[in-house]
Structure 1
Amino acid sequence: MTTDNNILGYLQDLQRAVDNLDNTWRPEDPAYRADVYRQTMTSLSYAYFAYFHADAEHPDWAPLWNPVYTLQPNPDDIYLQSPIRGDLSYRVSGNRGTCKILSFTTQKVLSGTVDQMPQPSGHNEVDCSDLGLALGEDFEVIFSAARPAGYTGKWAPIDPEAGGMMVRFRSYDWLNEVDPTLSIECLDPVPPKPRLSPDEILERIREMAKFPARKTKLYYAMQNGVKERVGFNVFEPIRYPGALVKQTYWPACFQFEPDEALIIETELPARRPYWNIQLNDPYFNALEYVYRLSSTNGHFAKVSSDGKFRAVISLEDPGVPNWLDPAGYTEGGIYGRWYDCDSEPLPTLTRVKLAQLREHLPADTPVVTAEERAEELRLRVRACQRRRRW
């Protein structure tokens, strides 16, 4: 074993994340550079969990995307993940809770841990309705490549080459729904969890340093793809093969001037078990969503008298329902989701002067006072902080 006394020697690959500035919309902008530095640190912080917290023989949940470890988390979701292995069997047990959706996704590799994601990815995804998990119910599910002989309980398949499991706790009413409590166990005989050797520790540190660049390479391309295909202020419906097969996304790249506003307008599906919309920064991170009203969903959203959903993006509070606060950004990303809906309308974006906003909204659009907005934000902060995010 050869040990470099300077730990920076093991972190050289962090520079690759900064080099990915070339793939952002404004590579020469010092604000963009600072944001990418911050993004690199959030990913490096998360990478410790990815490489040191658990292994496939000794699984345990680690926090995934959240207000700290960003990279476009859905603000309605609490994400967890654990290493697994396709030749082993696992039991996930606990209580279903009362959140809107509980889903389990298994795949060959965890995002960010390889330079090139494998195709096919080995995704298998099931949710609480697929598994028949009732609200508040204690349960256990076996995950394995094949159903165990003679086993008649709840079971879900994993790819024989599976390398990770991701869990989503998706909530509508953040303050009143109860998130699940879960454990994960390997059911096969395995040795005790070992002490890591010096070589193993150093190799994992090297992999940690590669993680931020791998993530930005993946996510910048996703956001840039939307901009290249449809431009700014246009929604594009997308389904991602293998992952969340019940969900259609409707991303857009937004852009406006400080004295302008963007109006989002859409029909709503007749059956809509879950839908939401959120704002991202230009680097595919969710905008601040604890202390900013940068997202909404089918529980919180106010529907217009004509049955349509309308939201407004503007730097200043426009005093109307469904303000999406861009947290100081005049360009970035939008992600909406229809989950298991009976139709998938494509919203529109209209760019207007903020001073003329009400001319472009229904005449009966309510006024939201400063006091009402402050209360809306107070309840949001309280609700988000009460969910266990890490």
Structure 2
Amino acid sequence: MTKRYIIIGDGIAGATAAENIRDRDEDAEIKVFTDEDTALYNRIMLKNYMKGTLPKQYTQMHDMNWYEKRDIDLHLETRVEEVDTMEKVVSAGDEDYSYDKLLVATGGAPRKLPQDENFENLHYMWTMNDATEIKESAEEAEEAVVVGGGLLGIDLAMAYASNDCETHYLIRGSNWWRRGLDEEGAEIIHQKMEEKGVNVVTETEVSSLEGGGEVEKVISQDGREFECDEVAVAIGQTPNSDIIDVEKNEVGMIKTDEYLETSAEGVFAAGNMVEYESPVFEKRAVNGSWDHSEAMGERAGANMVGEKAEFDFVNTYGVGHFDVQFLAIGDWNGEPVSKKYSEDEYRRLFFDGDRLVGAVMIGYTKGQKELKSMIKEKKEVNDKEELISQD
């Protein structure tokens, strides 16, 4: 009997899952739904597209022919409105579709700035269309404000600065990416941004936005004023999970077990904005990196077909804007040990007791594969200072 698989979302998690299902079941009926107007593109490459260093066509990963060759039925510009997990039916457009196994890979949507009153020149970044809008605005703007001290915020700041736009980068805390870096490590990244023309402003929150239909001035809580032509915001995401009634965490992320199956039988979830049981870190985890979402899609697709293997991936995240490499591996919530080796070299390791669980490296990235292996194999470290020594 032909199995029916439905995947909601054509990001890297959804597309990878569809491919893995087809590899394992040549007779399966596979449908993929996305509300976007184009097939899978590389979100990681969008930062270079926005900077103007990569043509748009090189961000595209799949075209319609890719799906047709694999007999995968891709529905573009089709929003799934509801999932009935009891009847195993997905409602999309004006039709209902039955499934045997379902994957929810809907990701998240950018969190809006509280002061946003639908200003025409205030931008959020997630889709290809968002990236095009930001690219075009960066090419025309003379002065911009970017809000958000995370991994996407730095991409937005560099997009404007790379287009010779005076860019004010507002960070709420003491330094960029406080989740994984202390001030000493972040100072290297701050300096690299300043060299590229970004004015890094820490300990700064937005109090108000002034202007009519467009923002003309950003006012901080301490009274500083930043005039601007354009504003871009990256202050997190909210999960796209309202379409389905399964167990979720306190912020609405879909929860899964270690096999990526949800509380509803036959329903799996993958991608960013999914909280899963990690056998590596021995706790519930969330990760939004590209390679992590791809690996999630691969594992979910295989498990939907009938395999039963734990999702034990250890992620890596990189920032490629500067002449020094930045890498973050694993989990960054443990007890940290850090060391700065030079003006451009820094490392921070994270431990759960005596077990290495994460690493952040700037400049000095030697041994990254060994560290990743230690994390996955749950090796205990007797001498943490020796491990972080440059020798």
| TM-score for both structures, normalised by structure 1 | 0.26
| TM-score for both structures, normalised by structure 2 | 0.26
Q: Whose strand proportion is higher, 1 or 2? A: 2
Comparing both chains, which one has the higher relative contact order based on Cα–Cα distances under 8 Å and sequence gaps of 6 or more? Answer: 1
